[in-house]
Structure 1
Amino acid sequence: MTTVAARVAIVGTGVIGASWAAHFLRHGLEVVASDPAPDAEERLRADVAGIGADQARLRFVADPGEAAAAADFVQENGPEREDVKHAVIAALDAAARPEVVIASSSSGLLPSVIARGAAAHPERVLVGHPFNPPHVIPLVEVVPGERTSEAAVEAALAFYTAIGKRPIRLRQELPGHIANRLQAALWQEAYSLVERGVASVADIDTAISHGPGLRWAVLGPFANQHLSGGPGGLAHVLEHLGPPTERWWRDLGSVTLTPELAATLVAGVDEELAGRDPAALAATRDAVLDQLLAAKTSHDLP
């Protein structure tokens, strides 16, 4: 399997694909991009320019197979639909060299399902799920399927590491992988708290962004729990706070995303942001994240 890639194929150039393209370009790789939308190249170049990546090594082709044939690594970013994935993966599998990894950015589909589109080489298909936006957030979840080879997994881990990512390998494929499942658990309780009238949307955002979210941005939940236990560490926390935590688990809300609840959540966000420009807010968020990541890099953090 190819571990050192000089040219990457980006197939699907929406929000995630454009962000991936910018990240690859920033790390000196050549990018061959493809997307069937009629204005895809124009949008891609505008998005990459907006992120600030040099487009000298960016080429756009209409045929995804042509992009894959020229690549040392393929990053697929199509819609989250099995039929679409299978059609795209089939074209990529037929065109790419046998040793080239085909990684899907899928946020929830199982790699074993995605790989059904690869008639020739299903062993080189896996999920390489970034966290949005890929040009800022280091995390990539590498998820092998039932037929994925160890060589493909190792090649993907090595490739993502070489371009400044922080890849983790899942030992079992699950819908939503790891990070999205953890987010979904928090969202479930956050939505329930709003539905029950316990707190407003803005209050919940404040509770996270000015509370535990600050610590989570530095260390993960287990490491933070360990530090909160003093000399006894995690063992002390589990002994003394484990029983009440279990009682809280039993009291967590079970929520259904009804049209009424969705409307309440949307209205709450509108009120919280009070007309602020989402694009400007996202740019500010990303700038702060860049500063945070620079600070993390300067310290010896796990």
Structure 2
Amino acid sequence: MNDRASDMQQIGLVGAGTIGVGWAAYFLARGLDVTAWDPDAAAREAFADRVAADMRTLGAEPRRPRLAESQAQAVAEAQLVVENAPESIALKRRLLRELQEAAPARALIASSTSSLRHSDIAGEVADPSRVVIAHPFNPPHLVPLVELYGPAPEVVQRLAGFYRRIGKQPVVMRKEMVGHIANRLSSALWREALYLLQEGVASVEEIDRAVTAGPGRRWAIQGPFLTYHLGGGRGGIRHYLDHLGPSQEYRWASLGEPIMDEVFKQRIVEGVNAATRGQEVVPLVERRDAMLVALQRLPEDDDAKENY
């Protein structure tokens, strides 16, 4: 693969927090050019070192991104603008308008929003068709998923092709939805995990282990539909739905909704501190990233990725 064959070589990146750092590291590791900006001087100062650290995690020789002197300068020559601002509708609406005004007319704008809809944030831009939701799963330099949604199918497909060329696995949404796909699925699991904790069924550590030692082992290689298809034995998903579907409905009826008051929030914090044995966040992140790198080194099933 020749990444330089892409028609989007120049990346303008706005927002130099965790997501922006991960995106910059990934783009640079793939041979693309990155010019970045963040309104926070401290974020700009730490940006290059943080990008270098993520590139080393990828096993890539660190390259320095260019730091712009203004937001407009960061996107002035961009073919793709990647916006990583906080999850505020008002902020993103204003920012996307400013970015489209400052960027070249043919530039696409990709918003990394994790929950907001295209219709929430693109209402003030002159050409909404050139703004696409492109939500990465954190950390973006190590997790291949990118969820895409936009009102112009040809623009979305062009962006999907770009992400595929640089090694990502884009999923194109047919309609917009709050939280997109992966975060909605994650939120459903998180809500039930909290409910189990609140009901005293198990500790934080035990609930996490029930995921990592159980269904999480399968989820790294197959999603929920394929999981239940195989769970149906030789009869596949039809057999599962006919014979075990009622057991799912029985469980759905008992799923709960936690009450997030201050007392319960403190219980969550204490449970996480106990589960992590008081470790700081940084070494936990490093361990997670090392394991994600190890997963990436496993051979991929290209037939399953393309045909299922």
TM-score, normalised relative to structure 2: 0.92
| Shift in Å, 1:3 | 6.2
Question: For residues 299 and 208 of structure 1, do their structure 2 counterparts lie closer, same or farther at Cα, with a shift above 3 Å needed?
Answer: same
In the other structure, the counterpart of 2:32 is 29
Query: What amino acid is aligned across from residue 81 of structure 1 in structure 2?
Result: S
Equivalent residues of 2:6, 2:165 under 8 A apart: no
2:153 to 147, 150, 153: 150
In the other structure, the counterpart of 1:192 is 195
In the other structure, the counterpart of 2:207 is 204
In the other structure, the counterpart of 1:137 is 143
Partners of 2:42 and 2:268 lie apart in 1 by: 33
Equivalent residues of 2:90, 2:121 under 8 A apart: no
In the other structure, the counterpart of 2:130 is 124
Partners of 2:301 and 2:152 lie apart in 1 by: 36
Query: What amino acid is aligned across from residue 214 of structure 1 in structure 2?
Result: R
In the other structure, the counterpart of 1:97 is 104
| Shift in Å, 1:150 | 2.2
Partners of 1:190 and 1:157 lie apart in 2 by: 33
Residue by residue, what CA displacement relative to the aligned partner does 1:114-157 show, whole Å, maximum 9, x if unpaired?
A: 11131x2221011100000000000000011xxx3223211211
Equivalent residues of 2:52, 2:64 under 8 A apart: no
Aligned residues: 297
Aligned alpha-carbon RMSD (Å): 1.6
Partners of 1:62 and 1:83 lie apart in 2 by: 24
In the other structure, the counterpart of 2:116 is 109
Give the unaligned 5+ runs of structure 1.
none
Equivalent residues of 2:24, 2:51 under 8 A apart: yes
Find the residue that maps to 1:107 and give its secondary structure: coil
| Shift in Å, 1:300 | 4.6
- Greater shift in the superposed pair: 222-231 or 101-110: 222-231
1:82 to 89, 114, 127: 89
Identity rate, percent: 42
Residue by residue, what CA displacement relative to the aligned partner does 1:2-27 show, whole Å, maximum 9, x if unpaired?
A: 96211101100100000000000000
In the other structure, the counterpart of 2:70 is 63
| Shift in Å, 1:247 | 1.0
Partners of 1:282 and 1:85 lie apart in 2 by: 28
Query: What amino acid is aligned across from residue 114 of structure 1 in structure 2?
Result: I
Partners of 2:76 and 2:61 lie apart in 1 by: 23
Partners of 1:117 and 1:66 lie apart in 2 by: 21
| Shift in Å, 1:296 | 4.1
| Shift in Å, 1:299 | 6.5
Partners of 2:22 and 2:52 lie apart in 1 by: 11
| Shift in Å, 1:276 | 2.1
1:257 to 257, 260, 263: 260
| Shift in Å, 1:256 | 2.4
Partners of 1:222 and 1:229 lie apart in 2 by: 11
Residue by residue, what CA displacement relative to the aligned partner does 1:186-237 show, whole Å, maximum 9, x if unpaired?
A: 1111101110111111110000001000100111111111112211111111
Equivalent residues of 2:144, 2:168 under 8 A apart: yes
Query: What amino acid is aligned across from residue 101 of structure 2 in structure 1?
Result: A
Partners of 1:291 and 1:231 lie apart in 2 by: 32
Question: For residues 182 and 284 of structure 1, do their structure 2 counterparts lie closer, same or farther at Cα, with a shift above 3 Å needed?
Answer: same
Question: 4+ runs of 1 displaced by more than 4 Å?
Answer: none
Partners of 1:56 and 1:184 lie apart in 2 by: 36
TM-score, normalised relative to structure 1: 0.94
Partners of 2:153 and 2:233 lie apart in 1 by: 40
Find the residue that maps to 1:153 and give its secondary structure: helix
Find the residue that maps to 1:116 and give its secondary structure: coil
Question: For residues 95 and 54 of structure 1, do their structure 2 counterparts lie closer, same or farther at Cα, with a shift above 3 Å needed?
Answer: farther
Partners of 1:213 and 1:133 lie apart in 2 by: 18
Equivalent residues of 1:218, 1:296 under 8 A apart: no
In the other structure, the counterpart of 2:292 is 289
In the other structure, the counterpart of 1:46 is 49
Query: What amino acid is aligned across from residue 132 of structure 1 in structure 2?
Result: N
Partners of 2:29 and 2:241 lie apart in 1 by: 44
Query: What amino acid is aligned across from residue 248 of structure 2 in structure 1?
Result: T
Question: For residues 139 and 272 of structure 1, do their structure 2 counterparts lie closer, same or farther at Cα, with a shift above 3 Å needed?
Answer: same
